[in-house]
Amino acid sequence: MKDAKNFAVFGLGRYGMAVAKELVENSKEVIAVDLNPKTVDEASAYIPICKCADVTEPEVIERLGISNIDTVIICMASNLEASVMAITLCKEAGVNNVIVKCANETHRKILLRVGADRVVFPENESGIRLAKSLSSSNFMDLISLSKDVSVVEIDVREEWVGKNLIELNLRKKYSFNVVAIIEGENIDVAINPEQPLSNEMKLIVIANTAKLSRLK
């Protein structure tokens, strides 16, 4: 999937606000939407584009220009009907990536069946972690160790193929440390720095979160 450049967040409860704020702080274009005028007013202090609207209405989706949005995050887990309707309208508008916050396993199955591309359980994945992973869409399975340090899985770039870690000196160039190499089902933590990299490998690295964008 291509890098997402703009996002819409439907529902500005604690989870939705965390997602939207983190995306904004990572310099992403965000449209935040909620039904509650007071919530929207409070959110506008952190998110430049906030709208008070009902995202289960087709004309609202059209008016907001959702057809031009790369990723929509629906954070209305307490209202299954609204989540289902929002997914349907977003998919009809042509949104490629719809992520939905989920209340339970039964709801997860329903949301996936009606078109959600990804369903998240808030107890398993925080809003901030989700936003960080979306902001760093070249990376997989981003885990925050602290505010400044993360663990990510990255693909071996084309220009790295055939070279080893000593030659690449990734720590100096990108400020991260390679802690494991994945190849097929094998995860090697006893890394041979002289081993040439292949495009079938993935690297597990510990990196300064603020510098991850240098890998794009």
| pLDDT given for residue 46 in this prediction | 92
| Integer angstrom CA distances of residue 157 from 126, 130, 168 | 29, 24, 11
Domain end position, chosen among 87, 115, 135: 135
Residues 120 and 201 in one domain: no
Please report whether residue 1 resides in a domain: no
Residues 88 and 174 in one domain: no
Domain encompassing residue 121: 6-135
Give pLDDT tens digits for 116-143.
999 888 754 555 566 655 655 554 545 5
Residues 73 and 93 in one domain: yes
| pLDDT given for residue 208 in this prediction | 73
Enter the pTM of the model. Answer: 0.63
Q: Does residue 106 contact residue 89 with C-beta atoms inside 8 Å?
A: no
Q: Which of 27, 26, 29, 25 is nearest to 9 (CA)?
A: 29
| pLDDT given for residue 1 in this prediction | 41
* Amino acid (1-letter code) at residue 76: M
Give the ranges where the chain is alpha helix by DSSP (H).
14-25, 37-43, 58-63, 80-92, 105-113, 127-135, 165-168, 170-174
Beta bridge partners of 206: 151, 177
Q: Is 33 helix (H, G, I), strand (E, B) or coil?
A: strand
Segment-wise mean pLDDT, segments of 10 residues, the chain, 216 residues: 77 92 89 96 95 96 95 92 94 94 88 90 60 55 58 85 92 83 81 90 80 62
| pLDDT given for residue 60 in this prediction | 96
How many other CB atoms are there within 10 angstroms of residue 92's CB atom? 13
Please report whether residue 147 resides in a domain: yes
Domain end position, chosen among 99, 114, 135: 135
| pLDDT given for residue 93 in this prediction | 95
Residues 200 and 131 in one domain: no
| Integer angstrom CA distances of residue 90 from 54, 63, 67, 69, 95 | 13, 12, 7, 9, 6
Residues 131 and 144 in one domain: no
| pLDDT given for residue 13 in this prediction | 92
Please report whether residue 91 resides in a domain: yes
| Number of domains within the chain | 2
Residues 150 and 200 in one domain: yes
Residues 77 and 149 in one domain: no
- CATH code (residue 194): 3.30.70.1450
